[in-house]
Amino acid sequence: MRIDSFRPALVLLLSCAFIIPAASQSKDKPLLGFDPEGAAAERTLEAKFDSLLKRENLRETMKRLSARPHHVGSPYDKENAEFILSLFRSWGFDAQIEEFQVLFPTPKVRVLEMITPEKFTARLAEPTLREDSTSAQTSEQLPVYNAYSIDGDVTAQLVYVNYGVPKDYEELQQRGIDVKGKIVIARYGGSWRGIKPKVAAEHGAVGCLIYSDPRDDGFYQGDVYPQGAWRNESGAQRGSVADMPLYPGDPLTPGVGATKDAQRIALKDAQTLTKIPVLPISYADALPLLKAMNGQVAPDAWRGSLPITYHLGPGSATVHLKLEFDWKTETIRDVIARLKGDERPDELIIRGNHHDAWVNGASDPISGQVAMLEEARGLGELAKSGWKPKRTIIYCAWDGEEPGLLGSTEWAETHAEMLRKHAAIYINSDSNGRGFLGMGGSHTLEKFINEVARDVTDPEKKISVSDRARAVQLLRGDKNEQREARERADLRIDALGSGSDFTPFLQHLGIASLNLGFGGEDGGGSYHSIYDSFDNYTRFIDPNFDYGIALAEVGGRTVLRFANADVLPFEFGNLTDTVGQYVKEVTQLTNDAREEIKEKNLRLSDGTYAAVFDPTQPFVMPKAEQPAPYLNFAPLENSLARLQESTRKYQTTMMQLAAQNRLPAQSGALDEALIKVERAMTREQGLPRRPWFKHQIYAPGFYTGYGVKTLPGVREAIEQRNWQEANEQIGIVGQTIENVAVEIDRATTLLQATR
């Protein structure tokens, strides 16, 4: 139905942050972006959609897609793409495969051996298990390795660096331990894996080993596979170590799509390759190395669960690491399926989940992929019965996510101009487990996705997935999270850093994005191993695919509501509240840094450090720092005030028009204005030292990888004690927030023109 005027309920929903009890499931409850008639029709449509979803389809599709290893370049990865294409076409979508040519190295030589104090050669293999039928497909499996490690042949003493993040090297420095010329061994966790070799190289290390300690995802957590869900002694975690905080995607085509005729940089100029050789190993292979180490005993917080005394080294343990890769180009295949909109076909609702895996990948990514496919099948059935979306829906099954978000990034870069102009939202999922709904994304979507979550029932508890997420926050959150869970109408959604295919859409193109999935009640020990299998998933993660259906219901509602809404359901009150919180955080971060520097300098001058350190242990006195200056936060504070006023005017105008029962006849123009709000959060020049990342409100941390940094230009400058850059970034981010306010004002002007 084409909307010529807006009714009051629609206006109020677009403008006001009503407190709606989470338990409320009334069928006549209004919907953000819909008039009352449209909301009723939408709920009827969603009920029909729910009835179409079948658990057996998820089971059978997972069994098919995870039947063989399907990494980039493998025959079964191609077969899976073609199979997914056939599914979309059978459901009535206009679907095709888009191909890109990307750098994807695979190992030719992997050697890890201990030279002293005794000889040991690492197996670097995961054994077949009779309880896991696909674990025997050894000829098709990628070996254990880290993609985009450089070649190398190094022999050096070993140093244990805990998680290998910057603060761990500060601890080592204080203890007088230098990793220059050494091979470091770090445990997985604490950051994204690619940060570990990056920081090690910055400190002069010549090689990096990354192992899975049982404290983090092995027997310390529970029974190991195949008796339980946790990582066994031979399980190892493959993964990319490309420096994706610089830019994701093909290392040889930064910023442009990796098409056949794209101009490529030389391999030696690729900035995202590691600077030192890197290899992941199991804790069975790590144990002899760690056991042979001597030197200082590791601090309490650094000790894992292996039956040894954890030493830091360097000393007796010397290891030889040799890696050689086949630096080849492979074809990746994105499956792109369209359902054309009937009223506003130029407005795009994009939904994606990747299909490639490191090995069989039943959990990562097929659990999310099958939920998305069932969701798409349901929409196809609705379309066959006569339903037509207002806006165009695009489903994307990405290839090459595991090595570096290759498929999504190259597609987004290739179609960047079109996407900037027409994309309204990108909705992502990846692995899906059992438990609690995780919601991350743009805060212009926070109210919307909370509304969706209130309308989906948790299959275990028979309450809304919103209520269950609120309950876990009340029980396990910190004091502030508990308070907000009691008092705030909407659950806060997580800000997004990186780690999945939302990255190019949100952080490069400024497209409002969501990342959705269930988890928290499933073990994590199969991640990126040969044991991420159908057998494992159906025993320990989501045996009945109950949460696969729940994800399809959440994802399906998200797509349907954005595709069908009378006006795109963005909301700015929660955005403004969140940005205000970020401004307070960076202000407090500066104050904390000032006090920390002051206290450290005082301890140096009054002899506190000298009085406390143990003279029998090595200790390096920290260096005094220059006092932290007082930064000028006025540009941030003033722009926040402007944003608050613009949001207030938008809401007030909406309410005034509601009283008159009037809104613009051409709501498409309002849609266009609303889409531009997220775009205004980007800056063409990008962030300092990484121009690919253009979003000024959210970005992956330079030293965290997946982990988000909010107001990243300001926050990271403060963390690095780069006070001049911090002041510069305060001005830049302040201007960005001003730009957001301007776009909200433009939407308000469209509303005011009808009064």
Bridge-partner residues for 111, per DSSP? 322
In 3D space, the residue among 439, 428, 496, 494 whose CA is nearest the CA of residue 464 turns out to be: 439
pLDDT at 659: 66
Whether 396 has a pLDDT exceeding 90, the answer reads yes
pLDDT at 755: 61
pLDDT per residue as tens digits for the range 724-745: 999 999 999 999 999 999 999 9
Q: What is the mean pLDDT of residues 435-456?
A: 98
Q: What is the mean pLDDT of residues 304-317?
A: 97
Walk me through the domains of the chain, giving residue ranges and CATH numbers: 18-103+330-564 (3.40.630.10), 106-327 (3.50.30.30), 573-752 (1.20.930.40)
Bridge-partner residues for 187, per DSSP? 211
Q: What is the mean pLDDT of residues 500-521?
A: 98
Q: What is the mean pLDDT of residues 59-81?
A: 99
Whether 679 has a pLDDT exceeding 60, the answer reads yes
pLDDT at 178: 98
Element (H, E) at 581: helix 573-606
User: Which band of pLDDT confidence, cut at 50, 70 and 90, is reported for residue 705?
Assistant: confident
In 3D space, the residue among 640, 650, 641, 648 whose CA is nearest the CA of residue 745 turns out to be: 650
Instruction: Extract the tokens encoding 714.
Output: 């300001």
Global pTM reads 0.95
**Average predicted confidence (pLDDT) for the chain:** 94
pLDDT at 137: 99
Show contacts of 133-141: CB within 8 Å, 24+ apart. 133/533, 133/534, 133/535, 134/66, 134/67, 134/68, 134/360, 134/530, 134/533, 134/534, 134/535, 135/530, 135/531, 135/533, 137/68, 137/69, 137/360, 140/68, 140/69, 140/74, 140/76, 141/69, 141/359, 141/530
In 3D space, the residue among 573, 461, 541, 554 whose CA is nearest the CA of residue 515 turns out to be: 554
Q: What is the mean pLDDT of residues 644-665?
A: 77
Amino acid at 266: A
Whether 713 has a pLDDT exceeding 50, the answer reads yes
Whether 176 has a pLDDT exceeding 50, the answer reads yes
Q: What is the mean pLDDT of residues 173-184?
A: 98
pLDDT at 29: 82
Per-residue buried b or exposed e for 479-502, using 16+ beta carbons within 10 Å of the residue's own CB: eebeebbeebebbbbebbbbbbbb
Q: What is the mean pLDDT of residues 361-368?
A: 99
Instruction: Extract the tokens encoding 12.
Output: 């109020």
- What's 135's DSSP letter? G
User: Which band of pLDDT confidence, cut at 50, 70 and 90, is reported for residue 24?
Assistant: very low
Amino acid at 112: L
Per-position DSSP letters for 28-44, written without gaps between them = T---TT--HHHHHHHHH
User: Could you give the CA distance from residue 81 to residue 393 in angstroms, rounded to a whole number?
Assistant: 19
> Among the listed ranges 116-120, 310-314, 410-414, 611-615, which one has the minimum average pLDDT value?
611-615
- Half-sphere exposure (Cβ direction) of 123: Cα atoms closer than 13 Å: 14
